[in-house]
Every structure is written in structure tokens, then in C-alpha cells.
Amino acid sequence: MSVPPRLAPLLAPDAPVQRVARALVDAGHECHLVGGSVRDALIDDIPVEFDFATDARPEQIEALLAPMADHVWLQGKRFGTVGAQVAGVPCEVTTYRAEVYRPDSRKPEVSFGDSIEQDLSRRDFTVNAMALRLPDAVLVDPYGGAADLATGRLRTPLTPEVSFTDDPLRMLRAARFIARFGFVPDPELVTAVETLGDRLDIVSVERIRDELSKLLLVPDPSPGLWFLASTRLADHFLPELNQMELEQDPIHHHKDVLAHTIAVVAKTSHDDLVLRLAALMHDVGKPKTRSFERGRATFHHHEVVGARMTRDRLTALRYPTEVVESVTQLVYLHLRIHTYAMGWTDAAVRRYVRDAGDLLAQLNELQRCDCTTRNERKARTLGRRMDELEARIEALAAQEELRAIKPPLDGKQVMDFLGVAPGPVVGEALAFLLEARLDEGPIDEADAFARLRAWADDRDL
């Protein structure tokens, strides 16, 4: 096999990859470059980190890597993996594996193997079950991964039943590979996912969450999301997905919410997880709020219901609190632009910016992407509204500090002026002053104290 052109510099004698390989081989061990780095090299996509497989045991690997490494990490050593940074390049070296997952366990029973062929058989897909023997760069491909990569076929090295029983998360990972590489899954793989979906229930929530996030950050996750929906795999960790596939009423025509949702996700920026999650969840409240009025489907207050469902689901998936709160707020606000058709005062624009806070740019993008209609007139109307709103925000921002709107007085000034201790009265006074600021724009300090005096007199304070 000829070395892929973009991999050739990495296999130069003094390159970190070859330094690792020669350290192992010179000590009498085998060394193979494995996994995603081989796959990516074959599609001319330069790898940024490297995984190696060897017959050396973890203690031997650590001893051989330490002298050449910038630093070594040993978190995976008990599973056979020693990590090191060599000349700035991340490398992980793992003893050949022959692990098998127990049917009722979330963790593998790791046993070490002695052959690269056995190691490759335990990998997730054939396109990841190739190895490049080093230092002579000979391709080892016992399961036809190169051919599958060339033809866009997604298969498992062993039967999919064995592969998915070993590690059920591979079923979810299949969705990401389908979306990222455009692979077409073998019918046997699809059937196995449909049959073994409940195996995903033993996988830790954190692993599922991380894999879902990786799928959502693929440039176009649509094929992967459709795979999760059509196989019903999503039902085991994101049941709201298939619940959005509302039955079409032949009399009361309405848009398929699931198809719309997946289209919105694909339109949003692919490097923004919060935005992608918000796009995925923005209409989850529709199934629970659907009703029919005058021959049309309506979903009144689905943003309120959806925000609550979003918080519950993302919390269950153990996303960080800040992610949960940001996504929930975007779902809650995603319909705000539609009231703009009725006309917004400057006060309404200020409130919009205040409510969005640091999420303003993401909210604007979500609302733009939420338009998936084929009706060009409607699409132009929504786009024009967003253009006008953003122009008004920019114009007001030039006059006022919109991003930092706050009451014209602080809590200490209120307490000193009214002669009160900390308590509910201070919060009520600040809320009153904030409303005045939002309604009227900047208020100078003297005017603020006068308003506060009048407010306090009305309450006999």
C-alpha cells in the first residue's frame, strides 16, 4: 500500500509517530497505528491525534514513552492505555484488547490480547478496524474497512449483535458516522439497532450525552437524527424526538414537527452546542399543546411547555447547569419575534435584549433558522422582521448600554434614601426603577431619586 500523501510527513523517521513506533519495535514489541487516524488518513483528512495498538503491556508502554514524552497521563492505564504528548503531538498507546461487556454491566471486562487481528475485531465499525503497521507503514485490514470507506458502507467487524452487545453506545455512534461521513448502514446493522435498542439503557447517561453532543456538532446531523428516530433508538434517551412526529390529519393540514425540527437543527451554526440543542428542543412542547381551531392546528404556549420539558430532559442527560439554563431560555424565547409584526416600541426592544442577555445572537439565529417554510413570501417577511429588529437593536445600542441595562440606582442607594434594611422592599423598589428604565431609556440620578420618593410615598414607606 502506498502511504496517503498527507500522512507521509507524519511517518518521516524523526516524526513523533515514528519515534513512538521505533521505541516499541526496538524493544521487541509490535506497533500499529489504529482507529480514526488511519481512517482519516485514507480519506486525505490529516489526523491531529494518534492511537496506537501494541502487544506491550501498560507498564512496558509507560517505561518506553516516558523518556521521549513532554508529559504522560495514566488515567486509562488500568484499561491498558497510556497517553503521552510527544513533541506536542497527542498519542495514546493501548495494549491489544479482547474485552467483552457483560450484558448487565456498564463497564467492560478488559482482557489483553496478543494479536492485532483480535484487537481490530472488537472495534466498532470496519472503517475503524484498520491498522497501519509501523514503522514500515503496511495496511492491516482484515475486515474490509478500506473498501467500506470507499463505498460509504457502515458495517461492524463482527456481527452487529455481538458488536452492540459488547458496547451498546456503538448504536448511537453509528448515527454520528452516518451523519459525518454520509455512510449508508447495512440492513443487518439497522435491524440490530431496532432489536437491541434497550441495551442502551445500561450505558451511563454521561456517555450518551457526550455522544449526542458529538452528533449535534456534525455540520449536518440530519441523517443521524433520522436514524435515531427511524430505529426508535432515541426513545431510550430522548423520547421527545419521535413524539414530535405528529400524525398528519388529512383535514387539518399542518407541518410535520419532527421534519421541521431536524431542518432547523441543520440550519444553525454547527460549532455551537447550546444553539444546536435549542434547535433540537425548541418545538418539543407542540405535541402536548396541539389543538384545532377553524381547521388549523394550533400550539398555544408550546414555548412555555417546551421550556419546562427542555429543562427536565437536559437535566436528566446531565448537561452542565449553564447549558441547561441557556437552552431552556432560548426555547422559551424562540417565538418572541412573531409579536414584532404587531409593532414594538423602544421599550419592547429593550426588554427583548434584557431577556435574551448574553444569548441575544443565538436567539436571533434560532429565530431566523426556525423559518423552514417553502412559502417564499413568508420567508422574506420573517427575514425582514429580523433585519429590522437587529437594526433597531443596533441603533438603540449606539445610544444606550443595552447589554447592561439595570436600575438607575443600586440597592445601597435605595436603602440609604428610604432608610430601610435589606429585604423585599429594596427588591420591589429596584424592580420599579428597572421598569421605568426599560420603558423610557436612561434616567439620571436626580430623576431616579424623585421617582423613588413618589413610589415610597404611595406605599406609606
* pLDDT, tens digit (0-9, with 9 covering 90-100), for 211-233: 999 999 999 999 999 999 999 99
Query: Is the Cβ–Cβ distance between 73 and 83 less than 8 Å?
Result: yes
Query: Is the Cβ–Cβ distance between 332 and 362 less than 8 Å?
Result: no
46-83 burial, b for 16+ CB within 10 Å, e for fewer? Answer: ebeebbbbbbbebebbbebbeebbeebeeeebeebbbb
175-to-194, 227, 266 alpha-carbon distances in Å: 13, 6, 15
pLDDT at 203: 94
- Residue 288 reports pLDDT greater than 70: yes
- Residue 236 reports pLDDT greater than 90: yes
More confident residue, 102 or 323: 323
Q: What is the mean pLDDT of residues 334-339?
A: 83
pLDDT at 376: 76
- Residue 252 reports pLDDT greater than 60: no
Please identify which residue in the block is written with the cell numbers 431496532. 194
Q: What is the mean pLDDT of residues 419-430?
A: 86
Name the burial class of residue 281, with classes exposed (0-12), middle (13-18) and buried (19+) by CB atoms within 10 angstroms of its CB. buried
Any idea what DSSP says for residue 190? H
Q: What is the mean pLDDT of residues 41-52?
A: 83
User: Would you state the cell numbers that stand for residue 292, as one nine-digit string?
Assistant: 384545532
pLDDT at 250: 43
DSSP string, 81-133: EEEEEETTEEEEEEE-B--EE-TT-SSEE--B-S-HHHHHHTSS-GGGS-EEE
User: How far apart are alpha carbons 244 and 287 in whole angstroms?
Assistant: 6
Q: Which among 397, 276, 262 is positioned nearest to 326, based on CA atoms?
A: 276
| Confidence band for 355, pLDDT divided at 50, 70 and 90 | confident
Q: What percent of the chain has pLDDT over 70?
A: 90
User: How far apart are alpha carbons 185 and 191 in whole angstroms?
Assistant: 10
pLDDT at 254: 47
DSSP string, 329-341: HHHHHTTGGGGGG
Q: What is the mean pLDDT of residues 191-196?
A: 97
Query: Is the Cβ–Cβ distance between 256 and 248 less than 8 Å?
Result: yes
User: How far apart are alpha carbons 155 and 37 in whole angstroms?
Assistant: 18
User: How far apart are alpha carbons 93 and 397 in whole angstroms?
Assistant: 54
User: Would you state the cell numbers that stand for residue 137, as one nine-digit string?
Assistant: 507503514
Give the list of residues 6+ apart from residue 291 with CB closer than 8 angstroms, or none.
Answer: 297, 298, 299, 300
pLDDT (tens digit, 9 = 90+) per residue, 66-102? 999 999 999 989 889 999 999 999 999 999 987 666 6
Mean pLDDT (the chain) is 88
- Residue 292 reports pLDDT greater than 80: no
Q: Which among 335, 232, 342 is positioned nearest to 285, based on CA atoms?
A: 335
DSSP string, 194-218: HHHGGGGGGS-HHHHHHHHHHHHTS
Name the burial class of residue 387, with classes exposed (0-12), middle (13-18) and buried (19+) by CB atoms within 10 angstroms of its CB. exposed
User: How far apart are alpha carbons 324 and 210 in whole angstroms?
Assistant: 14
User: How far apart are alpha carbons 156 and 145 in whole angstroms?
Assistant: 9
407-to-447, 451, 452 alpha-carbon distances in Å: 12, 12, 11
User: How far apart are alpha carbons 268 and 75 in whole angstroms?
Assistant: 36
Q: Which among 264, 261, 332, 258 is positioned nearest to 301, based on CA atoms?
A: 332
- Residue 409 reports pLDDT greater than 90: no
pTM across the whole model:
0.82
> Any idea which of 310-319, 342-351, 395-404 has the lowest mean pLDDT?
395-404
Give the list of residues 6+ apart from residue 25 with CB closer than 8 angstroms, or none.
Answer: 31, 134, 135
What count of other Cβ atoms lies within 10 Å of the Cβ of residue 388?
12
Q: Which among 173, 139, 144 is positioned nearest to 38, based on CA atoms?
A: 139
Please identify which residue in the block is written with the cell numbers 450518551. 208
pLDDT at 434: 84
29-to-24, 133, 316 alpha-carbon distances in Å: 5, 12, 45
More confident residue, 133 or 41: 133
Q: What is the mean pLDDT of residues 244-249?
A: 65
pLDDT (tens digit, 9 = 90+) per residue, 374-401? 677 777 878 888 888 888 888 887 766 6
User: What is the set of domains in the chain, with CATH numbers?
Assistant: 8-151 (3.30.460.10), 238-404 (1.10.3210), 411-458 (no CATH)
What count of other Cβ atoms lies within 10 Å of the Cβ of residue 457?
9
pLDDT at 5: 67
User: How far apart are alpha carbons 106 and 202 in whole angstroms?
Assistant: 6
pLDDT (tens digit, 9 = 90+) per residue, 3-36? 666 667 777 888 899 999 999 999 999 999 998 8
- Residue 248 reports pLDDT greater than 60: no
